[in-house]
Amino acid sequence: MSAAVAAERTGLFQALARVREVGLFAVLAALALATAAINPRFLGAQGVKDILEDVAVTALLCVGETIVLLMRQVDLSISSILGLTAYATGALFIAHPAMPIPLVMAIGAVGGAALGALNGGLVAWGGVPSLVATLGTLYVFRGADFAWVKGAQINATSLPGHFLGLATAGVGPVPFLALIVVGLIALSGYALRHYPAGREYFALGSNEEAARLAGIDVRRRLLLGFICCGAIAGFAGVLFTARFGTVDATAGTGLELHVIAACVVGGVAITGGVGSVEGAAIGALLLATISNALVSLRVPAFWEQTIEGAMLLAAISLDLVIARHTLALMRSGRRHG
């Protein structure tokens, strides 16, 4: 494949990703409006605040996972990393109640980055496939969490009020938590698209051999990608504690598959090279909106999960159909033009 064709293909996929984001947004808006038509509270101040609070941590995790998925890798250990830093946050505040929040956030991110570096090292230098490496560290990190925490639990009552305020207070119906996450999404989205280093993640996932030949240091890029993902998961752990206030050794269990699902719904290809952090975040928002809407619409509790699963499958199938259709349209457009 010549460089020009490759560039054109990348451009095409980028355009496709945009189309997906717009489509997702339309689905999201339709769903929200339809639900609100039946239950106006759904889009009331408290309703919006609830959804944003629900989605903030997942959306943030999606940012890190997207970076890894772009490289055609996967990180299953994010939920365990989150669990460790979430408890560490609580333990830090109990030991030093006056600790400044930014410092705790930094500690969470650095701790997560260190764990991410372990993943990255295994993948880049150990030659361990990422699914195996991160399934392994999912167990190792969670085991360490259990060994450390045992049966203990941190309660909201032992955390400083201004820290919990990150989730409960905010600007209008938008909690600070969501503002922080939106800021991070915008920042990482911009960096991925506009910095050469960011574009290298796309290159790596599209065609690793070509990326190597183009002079990209593949191992270094892999390592950095996993470090970013770990740091974000670590930071998300801090926000998790602010959001829920109660943390035990099981915090975040099972979140990894939910996050990957959100990324896929948001148009991030599991086969690498395609997607955006904004799309993934919208995917997370869509999933959260669906589950909140089901409760709002008084769907019996037992069927909620069924419908969520079906919606997820519908989303990825529809996405694929639209993508193929658009691709065909664009190709024929090019041929004629």
Please, which of residues 262-321 interact with other proteins by CB under 8 A? 264, 270-272, 291-292, 295-298, 301-310, 312-313, 316-317, 320
Sign of the dihedral through C-alpha 157, 151, 232, 29? negative
For other proteins, the closer of residues 161 and 337 by Cβ is 161
Sign of the dihedral through C-alpha 303, 309, 313, 318? positive
For other proteins, the closer of residues 4 and 302 by Cβ is 302
For other proteins, the closer of residues 155 and 332 by Cβ is 155
**138 lines the binding site for other proteins (CB under 8 A):** yes
The angle formed by the CA atoms of residues 231, 196 and 260, to the nearest 5 degrees, is 40
Q: Which of 72, 105, 100 is nearest to 88 (CA)?
A: 105
**214 lines the binding site for other proteins (CB under 8 A):** no
Structure-block tokens of residue 115:
């764990």
CB of 337 to other proteins, least distance (A): 28
CB of 187 to other proteins, least distance (A): 27
Helices 78-95 & 130-149 angle (0-180, nearest 10): 30
CB of 11 to other proteins, least distance (A): 23
**332 lines the binding site for other proteins (CB under 8 A):** no
Rg of the chain's alpha carbons, rounded to an integer?
A: 20
Binders of other proteins in range 21-50 (CB under 8 A): 39, 41-42, 46-47, 50
Binding mask 221-260 for other proteins (x = CB under 8 A): -x---------------------xxx-xxxx-----x--x
| Integer Cα distance of 32 and 35 in angstroms | 5
In 71-165, where do the E strands start and end?
Answer: none
Contact with other proteins (CB under 8 A) among 7, 30, 103, 132:
132
Which residues are paired to 247 by β-bridges? Answer: 154
- How many chain residues touch other proteins (CB under 8 A)? 82
8 Å CB contact between 93 and 104? yes
CB of 239 to other proteins, least distance (A): 13
Binders of other proteins in range 71-90 (CB under 8 A): 72-74
CB of 208 to other proteins, least distance (A): 6
Binders of other proteins in range 151-170 (CB under 8 A): 151-153, 155-157, 164, 167-168
8 Å CB contact between 78 and 259? yes
> Residue 234 phi/psi, 5° resolution?
-65, -45
Angular region, 75: left φ>0, alpha ψ -120 to 50, beta rest:
beta
Binders of other proteins in range 88-117 (CB under 8 A): none
